[in-house]
Amino acid sequence: MKQEPAKINTAIELDNKSAPEWIKVLPNEQFIKAVDGREFILNDSEQVVNNSKRELVEMHVNFDHSFENALSQSKKAAGWVKALEVREEGIFAHVEWTDEAKKLIEEKKYRYISPSLKIEKTDKKQKTILGINNIALTNQPALEMAALLSSGQSIHENEQLSALSQIGQLLNLNGTNPVEILAELRQQQENRETELCNLDVETAVREFGFPKASEDELLTVRQTLGRDSFKELTEKLSVAGFGIPYLGKITQTEALSAQGIKLGGNQNKHNLTPEELEVCRKTGVSPEEFAKSKQDKE
């Protein structure tokens, strides 16, 4: 009969409302299943403890796996592991808590223990636990983090890490954290899009004669409509009189014709210039009244 893996859910149990000195790190079971579905094999608890002991540097307890998170700014310890011990129920750690961590535990602001493991890949699904690197206080159930791999990781995993490292170098980043790399790629994409928007607005102002004071409004339109629709709209606005028509490409007659003003017809019998006819159109003054006012001034 196949043995079902033991599920890890290591909650911190207060000792008379105080942070406990001893915490359970791993269950003493051969088959262990993390809450995210990953499966681990614990063949020898005593050997795991021996592999985890350090002579010069004490094992630390941190907050939320901050030491494995490249984006984390805080690298402070929540406590220090003074001893590891194998009991019938599992592997326990004797912890000397910092005042801050002790207070947070007693206020139940942190409820779970999550070890960072040194592992060796056994097959596609299971991994053998070789040792404990450090321990974290977290509000995610234990082992719901990316376990640190030992030198026994697969060639495929090495290739993935190498590829991430190369991508990080191209982006001037250190490390292989995929979250950090993705954030940088998104930021560069946003910066490039902003550059293109500003360039299109500068082109519209230069070619179609829009006032520089309208650049902010034009930028909003460009960001909303996209490049092609923005270009089409600014051309139409320019011809309609909201900018100086690009005279190098069309004539004033063509521009005014597009606005419904014909030169040489009844509307221009008063010998008004195209600019004067445009003033009439915008102000609502008839060409006849404008011509009369012009004559009076002369």
Q: For the chain, how big is the Rg over CA atoms in Å? A: 36
Regions in the chain scoring below 70 on pLDDT = 1-9, 35-36, 55-56, 67-74, 122-125, 141-166, 168-179, 181, 239-270, 275, 278-285, 293-294, 296-298
CB 205 within 8 A of CB 177: no
pLDDT of residue 34: 74
Q: Which two tokens stand for residue 151?
A: 């030198």
Cα–Cα distance between 190 and 172 in angstroms, integer? 17
Where helices occur in 139-243 by DSSP H, the ranges are 155-170, 178-208, 215-225, 227-237
Q: Which residues contact 77 (CB under 8 A, 6 or more apart)?
A: 60, 61, 62, 98
The type of residue at 138 is: T
pLDDT of residue 221: 82
Helix (H) or strand (E) holding 113: strand 112-121
pLDDT of residue 242: 58
Tokens 């003003």 -> residue: 261
Kindly compute the dihedral angle of the four CA atoms of residues 119, 121, 125, 127, in this order, to the nearest 10 degrees.
-30
3-state secondary structure of 134: strand
| DSSP-assigned letter for residue 268 | G
The domain segmentation of the chain, as residue ranges, is 6-153, 154-235, 251-298
Cα–Cα distance between 61 and 65 in angstroms, integer? 9
This prediction has a pTM of 0.46
Instruction: Report the candidate in 52, 109, 55 with the shortest Cα–Cα distance to residue 78.
Output: 109
pLDDT of residue 21: 93
pLDDT of residue 263: 43
- Report pLDDT digits (tens) over 242-252: 554 444 444 44
pLDDT of residue 158: 46
